[in-house]
Amino acid sequence: MTTAHDAPSRLATVLAGLDRIRDELEELYRDLHRHPELSHQERRTAGQVAERLRRSGFGVHEGIGGTGVVGVLENGEGPTVLVRADMDALPVREATGLPYASTATAIDADGDEVPVMHACGHDVHVTCLLGAARLLAEGRDSWRGTVVALFQPAEETGDGARGMLDGGLADVVPVPDVALGQHVLPLPAGEVRTRPGPTMSAADSVRVTVHGRGSHGSMPQAAVDPVVVAAAVVLRLQTVVARELAPGEPAVLTVGSVRAGTKSNIIPDTATLLLNTRTYSDATRTAVLDAVRRIVTAECQASGCPREPEFELYDRFPVTDNDPAVTNRVADAFAAHFGDRAGQLPRLSASEDFGDIPTGLGAPYTYWGFGGIDPDTWRAAEEAGRVERDVPVNHHAAFAPVLQPTLDTGTQALVAAALAWL
């Protein structure tokens, strides 16, 4: 039987193998970075994951929700800990200048050829979880319980987690006592940061189509101009957060695209707006989406549009709402191992679908961030007051986590968090 007082020594024992596998993990990372795959296309990555899990002694289940992979390692009586990494990349042309930069292209869901890059750091996540899984397997004399290593497709499209649940995930894994996840962020490499409660926002994309009546540009009196309607909608939507939410209630409403017409002297029949909202509670989420529908409908009525507007919700992500007790337990483990490199994560307006998995399986969870930016680069930018300008963020073509101490930190964090239960 182990106790909380045994944790530091058990962690040190399990992590002792990291020096031996570090070079292999770095080479794996370079390979994954060179060969990124779009959402729902992660076949090569999934194959590598499955092979390495089997070599570490995990029972492996493939093809869950398309390309999802799950490894299960049972090691006696004890808690079940699920640890997740996402695998997909983005349609971004890499501009890092790295010797292992991606030159890959792929055909996207619309049938277009696009460049592909691991611009969000999911290659880091896969590498760290494979490293942690191997260390836990090789150090199983130091713990008891069950480790579930889950590698998820299609995080970027917001449907990968739900796809694994719909694909029978609950049939192949034991019910977890806790679920854990992490993300590399534009923070100094070597740091880990946690936050209890709502940490990453819910996200909803909305496609709005407003219907007017077309005409020659010289005869606007014969038209109901959907471009004018769309312009009025854009301006009015900016009041939702400013005037319909309480001060201090965080939310974002962005109109990212407005499309209408083909020629300067033709008033078109329709205009299409693409909106994105970010919120941190179900009540605020409902209020903002209701306001979008109300404002668009009212503007169309005020302009005499011949048809009601159309609304399509897509790319929906849940709030990442970290369980306080789970988060505090992980934070204690990080403080013990990382010392002053463990800290508080600010609330993030980015979104994740990780929470769908533990919610679907009925498990509490926590999700933390760790840094991937060279500490000297970060400090220089911070001292110059230029962090937002000089430090590329996730999804940027120049986002390039440094190999170390990023990979070591992410691997150690997963092992430390898992051993807080095992």
CA geometry: angle 118, 120, 126, nearest 5 deg:
70
β-sheet bridge partners, residue 373: 188
Look at residue 371 and give its three-state secondary structure: strand
Q: 8 pLDDT band (50/70/90 cuts)?
A: confident
Strand segments (E) across 104-195: 105-107, 113-115, 145-152, 178-188, 192-194
User: Looking at 174-183, 187-196, 385-394, which range is the least confident one?
Assistant: 385-394
Phi-psi region of 156 (alpha: psi -120 to 50; beta: other; left: phi over 0): alpha
The chain-wide mean pLDDT, for the chain, equals 96
Q: Is the pLDDT of residue 1 over 70?
A: no
Which DSSP string corresponds to 222-285? G-B-HHHHHHHHHHHHTHHHHHHS-TT--EEEEEEEEEE-SSTTEE-SEEEEEEEEEESSHHHH
The domain defined by 4-200+319-419 carries CATH number 3.20.10.10: no
Q: Are 131 and 25 in contact (CB under 8 A)?
A: yes
d(CA 166, CA 394): 29
The total of other beta-carbon atoms located within 10 Å of residue 99's CB is: 7
CA distances in angstroms from 3 to 161, 178, 300, listed in the order given = 34, 18, 65
Q: What is the mean pLDDT of residues 102-124?
A: 97
Q: Is the pLDDT of residue 7 over 80?
A: no
Q: 99 pLDDT band (50/70/90 cuts)?
A: very high
Query: What's the gap between Cα 48 and its chain centre?
Result: 21
Task: Provide the b/e sequence for 195-226 (b: ≥16 CB within 10 Å).
Answer: bbebbbbbbbbbebbbbbbebeeeeeeebbbb
Say if 4-200+319-419 and 204-317 have the same CATH topology. Answer: no
Q: 231 pLDDT band (50/70/90 cuts)?
A: very high
Q: What is the pLDDT of residues 313-356, one digit of tens each?
A: 999 999 999 999 999 999 999 999 999 999 999 999 999 999 99
Q: Is the pLDDT of residue 67 over 50?
A: yes
CATH of 204-317, one of 3.40.50.150, 3.40.605.10, 3.30.70.360, 3.40.50.620: 3.30.70.360
- State percent of the chain over pLDDT 90: 97
- 388-395 contacts at long range (C-beta below 8 A, 24 or more positions apart): 391/186, 392/186, 393/186, 394/119, 394/120, 394/121, 394/184, 394/185, 394/186, 394/350, 395/90, 395/92, 395/119, 395/120
Q: What is the pLDDT of residues 181-212, one digit of tens each?
A: 999 999 999 999 999 999 999 999 999 999 99
Domain map (residue ranges) of the chain: 4-200+319-419, 204-317
d(CA 222, CA 388): 48
CA geometry: angle 412, 417, 422, nearest 5 deg:
115
Q: What is the pLDDT of residues 70-97, one digit of tens each?
A: 999 999 999 999 999 999 999 999 999 9
d(CA 37, CA 5): 43
Q: Are 82 and 2 in contact (CB under 8 A)?
A: no
Q: What is the pLDDT of residues 235-283, one digit of tens each?
A: 999 999 999 999 999 999 999 999 999 999 999 999 999 999 999 999 9
Q: Are 118 and 36 in contact (CB under 8 A)?
A: yes
Which DSSP string corresponds to 80-117? EEEEEEE---BS----S--TT----EEE-TTS-EEE-B
d(CA 288, CA 355): 21
Global pTM value = 0.93
